[in-house]
Amino acid sequence: MLLCVKQNSVHLPFNFLCMTIHREGFKSIAIGALIFGAINLIYFYFFSSALPWLGWVLFFATLFLLLFLISFFRIPNRNLTIHDNAIVAPADGKVVVIEEIVDVEYFKDKRLQVSIFMSPANVHVNRNPISGTVIYSKYHKGKYLVAWHPKSSTDNERYSVVLKKGDTEILVKQIAGALAKRIVNYLQVGQKVSQTQEFGFIKFGSRVDLLLPIGTKINVALNQVVKGGVTVIATLS
């Protein structure tokens, strides 16, 4: 299969389509392809003569799983939203929480929380909601409650980063879910970042929280589907 390298991604032609594959998926896809090949070769050589129809079922079932794996690590081509006063979605998914909470980790006061649930079918690239400077970054070990559980924000494995732009500080929290077993975060304290620039990746279902200043104008509603780097979640005053 022809692969065309482009920076940290790969263009993978399949079915006359060219998908961009995230670098975090290289190893997983390679392992998936080896398993796909091994299962079908073993069946072909040892069992196909007895049950040929089952071989086709097995082939299409494992092919579907391999294509799903490839799709999970896709990076779609999009026109990203870049605006000084906008807070853009850090992830694809559905808005599952919009509420005031008391942040006990960093701010130690009331914040407006907006949470986005990412299903396994969503794009799992995470993007900076604003441009600014990374002033806080911390990894927390934790549980693997389902991502929509109310305590997942504080009890689950997670990675918290605070971005500062002028007088505004925003906490972005990557949260592992029941299926997500690996959170990748590329940011370091002191680093300058750009809005919509990729900052991390979460594997296999998860959640991303935004903690915003009280009084921030929210532009989305509960259960709204949003696109990372595109949908404006809120507007800075």
Q: Which residues belong to the active site?
A: 206
User: Alpha-carbon distance 228 to 203, whole Å?
Assistant: 16
Contact 208, 174 (CB under 8 A): yes
* DSSP symbol at 127: E
**Using the 8-state DSSP alphabet, how is residue 216 labeled?**
P
Place of tokens 């919509």: 196
Please state, in angstroms and rounded to a whole number, the distance separating the CA atoms of residues 70 and 67: 5
Cα–Cα distance for residue pair 222/169, rounded to 1 Å: 23
Number of neighbouring beta carbons within 10 Å of residue 123: 21
Name the token pair of 215: 């009084």
* CB contact at 8 A, 189 and 160: no
- 3-state SS class at 182: coil
